[in-house]
Homo-oligomer: A and B are copies of this chain.
Amino acid sequence: MTTKERIIDEALSLFSVKGYKGTSVKNIADAVGIKDSSLYKHFKSKQQILDTIVETMQKHIEDMSNAFGLPADDNLEAAVAVYARFDEADLVQFSKKIFTFYLKDSIISRFWRMGNIEQYQNPEVYDLFRKLFLEDSITYQTKLFMEMSKANVFIEANPRVMAMYFYTPIYFLLSKYSNDVGHEAEALKILEEQVREFYRIYKC
């Protein structure tokens, strides 16, 4: 890890707990182990550190959507072919995978916290937070459940309503347990109950 990367990493950690305003350049420099003045050889301002974090996040999200099995729009058919064979256990596992990824991925989980803190102050941060946690998940799952209903895996129902019932418990549990480390087991138990009920309701 270069010094520049370590600055970004420590800054993200600090911003995600103390917020942008609440974190001083000296805080970041201390965490990295250099003097605050040295930091200005790598970034011309504190704001530029934040901008770089946002850019890094955008890349990370793209990489992850690919690696994560959230296929691009043009590849939905392939996804349906996979999910068409989903049974209850698979659906439970899928939901837990999403939840655990958001809660535990070292970049995403810190960005979740920073997004919450900065949402009313920093539009560039909030736009990305909104897209990732409030829009894309619902959009993707809406399409997914639409296709799965067509494929007679699930009954016919409003797919966006289904997506909301699938995703909003995950979102709520993220809020509740992002600040309650060490209780993920409890969260996963609750999530599993929700998904089993979801499957019971919508399975063909």
- A: residues with CB less than 8 A from B are 16-19, 21-22, 113, 116-117, 119-121, 126, 130, 134, 157-158, 160-161, 164-165, 167-169, 171-172, 175-176, 179, 190, 193-194, 197, 201
Copies in the complex: 2
- Bound state CA distance, A160 and B169, in angstroms? 12
On chain B, the residues within 8 Å of A19 by CB distance are: 19, 21-22, 117, 121
Closest B residue by C-beta to A119: B179
Q: Which of A117, A172, A176, A179 has the most CB of B within 10 A?
A: A172
Q: For residue A22, which residue of chain B has the nearest CB?
A: B21
Instruction: Tell me the minimal C-beta distance from A110 to chain B in angstroms.
Output: 11
Which chain B positions have C-beta within 8 A of A160? 190, 193
The answer to whether B120 and A179 touch across the interface, beta carbons within 8 angstroms, is yes
Enumerate chain B residues within 8 angstroms of A171, measured Cβ to Cβ. 168, 171-172, 175
Residue of B nearest to A19 (CB): B19
Evaluate contact between A120 and B21: CB separation under 8 angstroms: no
